[in-house]
Structure 1
Amino acid sequence: MKLVVVLVLLVVGSLLFHWWSPWWFTPLASNWGTVDTTVDITLYITGFVFVAVNLFLAYAVYRYRHKSSRRAKYEPENKSLEIWLTGLTTVGVVAMLAPGLAVWADFTRVPDEADVVEVLGEQWQWSYRFPGEDMQLGEVDSRFTSPDNPFGISPNDPAGADDILVRSADLHLPLDRPVKVLLRSRDVLHNFAVPQFRVKMDMVPGSVSYVWFTPTRTGRFDVMCMELCGIAHYAMRGAVIVDEQEQFDSWLAQQSTWSELQGVPKGDPVAGEAQYAVCASCHGAQGEGNKAMNAPRLAGLSAAYIKRQLEYYQQGIRGAHEDDTYGQQMAPMANVLTSEASVRDVSAYIANLPEQEVEATISGNPRRGASHFNSCGACHGARAQGNDALQAPRLAGQQDWYLKQQLANFRQGIRGTHEQDSLGHQMVMMSRSLQNEKSIDDLLSYLNSL
C-alpha cells in the first residue's frame, strides 16, 4: 500500500506543481506562436501518458497485490495488447512530431521581403552588421580579422564599404518587419537565443546559420548564448530592442559604416601632449598616477581603452552614479576634450607614456590569487597584458588600490550597471564571483607579481 500511496501522490504533486509553477514561458514577442503550440501539444500528450501510466501502475499494484489464497497466472505474450500499445504509441509519437516538422518547414522558409542583419558571436560578446544602401553585405573572411577589423570584412569587396557596423551588445530592430538573422562565430561554438522570440540556433565557426522572425511588440528582449562557450559563457549577454520604424531609422543613421571607420584618422600623440596638461594635474606628468588624488596610473593602458573610457564619461555611461564620487569628478574633466579628434589625440599620447614600477600596497596570497585570475585571464590575457580584441584593458602594472576600488564599484553596482555599458555588465557578474575581500586581496597580490 505504501507504494500505491507514493505513486498517487507523485501524480497529484506533479499536476499541482504544473498548475501553480512560477516558471512559464516569457510573453511572446514574435510571430512564432506555433512554437508554443507544438510545446503545448507535446506537454499534453506526455502529461496524459505520465498520469495514465502511473495511475495504472498504482491500480495494478493494489489490485494484484500478494494474497496467499491466489496464484499469479503466467502469460508471456498477448498479441492483441501488443498491437494496441504499438498503435497508440505510434499515434502519440506522430502527434508530437508532425506539428514540429510543419513549424520547422516554416522556420527555414524565409520571406522574400525579410530584412537582413548579421550577428557575430565571440568570447564573450555580440556584434551586429547591417547592409548599407546597396542592400548587400560585403564578403567576410577570418584571414582579414584583426583588432581594427573585428568583422573580418574583405578590403577587396566594394559591397562591404557601406556595411553598417554595431560594436555593441544591443541590436535594434523595427516593429512588424520580418528579419533574417545570419549567424556567424568568430572563435568557438556559440548559440544565439532570444526566448521571447522563440528562436535559437547554433553558431558554428566556419559556417553561417540563420533564423528569421517578425517582432510583434516593442520592448527590450534578452539575447543569450545557450551553448557553453567558455569560462565567461554566463556573462555573454545582449539585448534586442524593438522600435517603431521611425525610432529604428534614427538609431541606424547614428551607426558608422565600414568606410567611415576606416576613414577615421589615428590619434596624434604630438597634438595630444598639450591636451594632456589638464590630466597631468591629477594623473602625473608621466601618467604614473597619484593615490593622494585618487588618480590611477594611465601609462601602460592602450589608446583604445583610454578613448572608450573618456567617451563613457562624456556620455554619462560612467561617472553618473550618485555613489561614484571620483567618477563624478572625472566626468567634467573628460568634457574638456570638445572634439572626437582631441579624444583620439590625448589617448594616443597616453598610450605612448613610458611605463614605471608601481608600489604594492595590498598583501595577500599570490598562489591562491592565481586560481582566482583564471576567470580574469580569459579576457585580460594569461599575463594580464590586456586584449583589445575583447576590449579588455591591461591589469599588470596597474595600482592594486585602484583595482580594488573598481572591483568594489562593480560588485556594488556603482559601475557597470548603465544599460549601454555591456562590457561593464560582464564585469559586474565576473567581480561577484570573488567571494570576499580576502579573495580580492589574493587576486591583487598575484597581479602585483606579474
Structure 2
Amino acid sequence: MSIAIAMLLVVAGSILFHVLSPWRATPIASNWGFIDDTMGLTFLVTTAGFVAVIVFMAYCLYRFRHVPGRRAAYEPENQKLEAWLGIVTTIAVIILLAPGLLVWGQFITVPKDALEIEAVGVQWNWSFRLPGADAQLGSSDVRYIDSTNSLGLSPADPKGQDDLLITSGELHLPLGKPVKVLLRSIDVLHDFYVPEIRAKMDLVPGIVTYFWFTPTKIGEYEILCAAYCGTGHPQMRGKMVIESEADFETWRTAQQTFEQSRKSDASRDKRASAQ
C-alpha cells in the first residue's frame, strides 16, 4: 500500500514540477513556432502515458495486494486487452511522429527568396560569409586554408572575390527575410544553435549542412555550439544581431570582401618583408 501511495505522489510531484517550474524556453524570435507546438504535443502525449502507466501500476498494487486466503486466477492471455493496447499504442506513436515529420518537411524546404549565408565553425570560434554584389557565394575547400585565407575560399573562383568575410563572430541579419544558413566545419563536429531561433544543425567536417529560418524580432541573440568540441567548447560563442533592412545594409557595406582581404594581407606582408 505504501509503495502505491509513493508512486501516486511521484506522479503528482512530477506534474506540479512541470507546471510550476521557472525554467522555460526562451521567447521565440523566428518562424519556427511549429517546433514549440510539436514539443508541447510530445509533452502531452508522454505525460498521459506516464500518468496512465503509473496510476495503473499503483491500482494493481492496491487491488491485487496479498490477502490471506485469496488465490490469483491464472489467465495466460487476453486477446481483447492486447488488441486495445496495440491500437492505443499505435495511435500514440502516430500522434508523436506525424507532426514532427510535417515540421521536418518545412524545415528542409528553403524558400526560393532566402538570403544564403555561410557559418563556419573552428575550435573555438564562429566566422561568417555573406554574398557580395553578385548575390552568390564562391566555392571553398580546406586545401585553400592558410594564414591569409582562414575560411578556405577558392582564389580562382570569381564568384567568391566579392564575398563578405566576418571573422569577429558577430553576424547581422535583416528582420523578416528568410535566411538559409550553410554550415561548414574546418576541424571537428560543431552545432550551430541560437535558442531563440529554435532551429539548429550539426556542422560535420567534410559535409556542408544547412537549415533556414526567418527572424521575427529585432535584438541581439547568442550563438552557441551545442556539440562538445573540445576544451574550449563553453567559450565558443558568437552574436546574432537582427535589425532593420536599412541598418543591415549599412553594416554590410562596411564589411571587407575576400578580394580586399587578400590585397590587405599582401600589402602587410610586403611592408613586413621590406623592414
User: 2:273 & 2:11 partners in 1: Cα distance?
Assistant: 77
Query: What's 2:25 paired with?
Result: 25
Structure with max Cα Rg: 1
Cα shift at 1:69: 2.3
- CA-to-aligned-CA distance 1:360-412 (integer Å, 9 cap, x gap): xxxxxxxxxxxxxxxxxxxxxxxxxxxxxxxxxxxxxxxxxxxxxxxxxxxxx
Match of 1:142 in 2: 142
1:172 match: secondary structure:
strand
TM-score by length of 2: 0.96
Return the letter of the residue paired with 2:54: N
2:20 is the alignment partner of 1:42: no
**Would you say 1:201 and 2:201 are equivalent positions?**
yes
Q: Aligned residue for 2:52?
A: 52
For 1:208 and 1:101, locate their aligned partners in 2 and report how far apart those are by CA, in whole Å. Answer: 22
More strand by share: 2
The structure carrying a bigger helix percent of its residues is 1
CA distance in 2, matches of 1:101, 1:270: 59
| Structure 1 residue 148 displacement after superposition | 0.8
Counterpart of 1:119 in structure 2 is 119
What is the aligned partner in structure 2 of residue 64 from structure 1?
64
Residue among 251, 265, 268 paired with 1:266:
268
Where 1:119 maps in the other structure, the secondary structure is strand
Which amino acid in structure 2 is aligned with residue 253 of structure 1?
T
Give, in whole Å, the separation in 1 of the partners of 2:234 and 2:2: 44
Deviation of 1:50 (Å) = 0.7
Matches within 5 A, 1:294-443: none
| Matched residue, 1:82 | 82
Deviation digits for residues 422-450 of structure 1 (CA, Å, limit 9, x no counterpart): xxxxxxxxxxxxxxxxxxxxxxxxxxxxx
**How far is the alpha carbon of 1:270 from its aligned partner?**
9.0
Matched residue SS, 2:150: coil
- Report the Cα distance in structure 2 between the residues aligned to 1:47 and 1:37, rounded to whole angstroms: 15
Amino acid at match of 1:44: L
Tell me the SS of whatever aligns to 2:187: coil
Gaps of 5+ in 2: none
The letter of the residue matching 1:65 is R
Provide TM-score, normalisation by structure 1.
Answer: 0.59
- Residues of 2 paired with 1:88 and 1:136: CA distance? 51
Task: Find the counterpart in structure 1 of residue 180 from structure 2.
Answer: 180
Is 1:255 aligned with 2:250?
no
Tell me the secondary structure at the aligned position of residue 222 of structure 1: strand
| Partner secondary structure for residue 197 of structure 1 | coil
**1:8 is aligned to 2:8:** yes
Counterpart in the other structure of 2:231: 231
Secondary structure in 1 aligned to 2:249?
helix
Aligned residue in 1 for 2:128 = 128
Deviations 1:172-215 (A, max 9, x none): 10000000000000111111111111111111111100000000
Relative CO higher for 1 or 2, CA cutoff 8 Å, sep ≥ 6?
2
- Match of 1:172, as an amino acid? H
Once the two structures are aligned, what percentage of the paired residues are identical?
A: 49
Question: Please, which runs of 5 or more residues in structure 1 have no aligned partner?
Answer: 272-348, 350-450
Distance in 1, matches of 2:241 and 2:47, equals 36
